[in-house]
Structure 1
Amino acid sequence: MLLGSCAVVAIGLGLLQASREVQPGALWFAAGGLFLSWLAALAVLRIARIEGDPYLLPVACLLSGIGWAMVYRLEPELGMRQALWIAFGLGAFVLISLLLRDYRALEEYRYLYLAAGVILQASVMMFGVEINGARLWFRFGSYYFQPVEIVKILMILFLAAYLRRFRTWIRLSLRSPEGRLPRRALLVLGIGWAIAEAVLILQKDLGMALLFMGIFLTMFYIATGRTDLAALAGGLFVVGAWLGYLLFSHVQVRVQAWLDPFAHSEAGGYQMAQALFSLSWGGLFGTGLGLGKPNLIPEAPTDFIFVALAEELGLLGGAALLALLVVLVQRAFRVALTAQDEFGTLLAAGLAVLVAWQSLILIAGTLKVIPMTGITLPFISYGGSSMVSNFLILALLRRMSRRPRGARGN
Structure 2
Amino acid sequence: MTATSTGQVSTDTAVVRALRRIRGPQTQRNRELGLLVFALVITASAVALVQLGAAGVIDPKFLIYCGGLAALVIALHIVLRLRARDADSFVVPIATLLTGLGIAMIYRLDVAGGRHGWNAFSTRQLAWAGIAVVAAIIVVVAMRNYRVLFRYTYVSGFIGVGLLLLPFVPGLGTDANADVWVSLGFFSFQPGELAKIALAIFFAGYLVRTRESLSSVGTRFLGMTWPRARELGPLLVLWLVSLGIIVLQRDLGTGLLIFGMFVAMLYVATGKTSWVVIGVVLAAAGAFLASRVLPYVGARFDNWLDAFNPDRMDGPSYQLVQGIFGLAQGGLIGTGLGQGRPYLTPVAESDYILPALGEEIGLIGVFAILCLYMVFASRGVRIGLAGQDDFGKLLATGLSFTIALQVFIMVGGVTRLIPLTGLTTPFLAAGGSSLVANWIIVAFLLRISDVVRSRPRVVIG
Structure 2 counterpart of 1:245: 291
Written as runs of structure 1 = structure 2, the 5 A alignment for 1:309-388 is: 309-388=357-436
In structure 2, how many angstroms separate the alpha carbons of the residues matched to 1:168 and 1:239?
A: 28
SS of 1:309's equivalent in the other structure is: helix
Change (3 A) 1:50 1:96: farther
SS of 2:215's equivalent in the other structure is: helix
Change (3 A) 1:253 1:200: closer
Q: Give CA-to-partner distance per residue, 1:244-277, whole Å, 9 cap, x none.
A: 1112211122111111223213542000110111
More divergent stretch after superposition (292-301 vs 73-82): 73-82
Structure 1 counterpart of 2:149: 106
Determine if the alignment matches structure 1 residue 168 to structure 2 residue 212: yes
Q: CA deviation at 1:141?
A: 2.4
SS of 2:179's equivalent in the other structure is: strand
Structure 1 counterpart of 2:68: 33
SS of 2:155's equivalent in the other structure is: helix
- Verify the 8 A CA contact 1:300 1:308 in the aligned structure 2: yes
- Verify the 8 A CA contact 2:406 2:425 in the aligned structure 1: yes
Q: CA deviation at 1:226?
A: 2.7
Structure 2 counterpart of 1:138: 182
Structure 1: unaligned runs, 5 residues or longer? none
Structure 2 counterpart of 1:204: 250
Counterpart of 1:105 in structure 2: which amino acid?
Answer: V
Structure 1 counterpart of 2:164: 121
Counterpart of 2:138 in structure 1: which amino acid?
Answer: L
More divergent stretch after superposition (69-78 vs 48-57): 48-57
Counterpart of 2:179 in structure 1: which amino acid?
Answer: R
SS of 2:420's equivalent in the other structure is: coil
In our comparison, the structure showing a higher alpha carbon Rg is: 2
Change (3 A) 1:49 1:162: closer
Structure 1 counterpart of 2:104: 69
More divergent stretch after superposition (262-271 vs 247-256): 262-271
Q: CA deviation at 1:397?
A: 0.3
In structure 2, how many angstroms separate the alpha carbons of the residues matched to 1:245 and 1:180?
A: 29
In structure 2, how many angstroms separate the alpha carbons of the residues matched to 1:180 and 1:235?
A: 15
In structure 1, how many angstroms separate the alpha carbons of the residues matched to 2:137 and 2:325?
A: 41
- Verify the 8 A CA contact 2:79 2:137 in the aligned structure 1: yes
SS of 1:57's equivalent in the other structure is: helix
Counterpart of 1:144 in structure 2: which amino acid?
Answer: S
Q: Give CA-to-partner distance per residue, 1:303-325, whole Å, 9 cap, x none.
A: 11000001000000000111111
Counterpart of 2:97 in structure 1: which amino acid?
Answer: L
SS of 1:133's equivalent in the other structure is: coil
1:89 counterpart (125, 129, 132): 132
- Verify the 8 A CA contact 1:333 1:349 in the aligned structure 2: yes
Change (3 A) 1:171 1:103: same
Task: Provide TM-score, normalisation by structure 2.
Answer: 0.83
In structure 2, how many angstroms separate the alpha carbons of the residues matched to 1:237 and 1:300?
A: 28
Counterpart of 2:207 in structure 1: which amino acid?
Answer: L
Change (3 A) 1:92 1:175: same
1:11 counterpart (36, 45, 51): 45
Task: Provide TM-score, normalisation by structure 1.
Answer: 0.93
Q: Give CA-to-partner distance per residue, 1:156-194, whole Å, 9 cap, x none.
A: 111111111211221123279xx98484x7535643563
1:148 counterpart (176, 187, 192): 192
Q: CA deviation at 1:391?
A: 0.5
Query: What percent identity do the matched residue pairs reach?
Result: 36
- Verify the 8 A CA contact 2:381 2:396 in the aligned structure 1: yes
Structure 1 counterpart of 2:26: none
Q: CA deviation at 1:200?
A: 3.9
Structure 2 counterpart of 1:408: 458
- Verify the 8 A CA contact 2:54 2:108 in the aligned structure 1: no
- Verify the 8 A CA contact 1:118 1:196 in the aligned structure 2: no
- Verify the 8 A CA contact 1:113 1:155 in the aligned structure 2: yes
Structure 2: unaligned runs, 5 residues or longer? 1-34, 221-225
Structure 2 counterpart of 1:396: 444
- Verify the 8 A CA contact 1:245 1:252 in the aligned structure 2: yes
In structure 2, how many angstroms separate the alpha carbons of the residues matched to 1:254 and 1:405?
A: 49
In structure 2, how many angstroms separate the alpha carbons of the residues matched to 1:407 and 1:104?
A: 13
Q: Give CA-to-partner distance per residue, 1:29-74, whole Å, 9 cap, x none.
A: 2212221221122223334455411111111111100111111111
Q: Higher relative contact order by CA 8 Å / sep ≥ 6: 1 or 2?
A: 1
More divergent stretch after superposition (133-142 vs 20-29): 20-29
Q: How well do the aligned residues superpose, as a CA RMSD in angstroms?
A: 2.1
Change (3 A) 1:362 1:180: closer
- Verify the 8 A CA contact 2:52 2:58 in the aligned structure 1: no
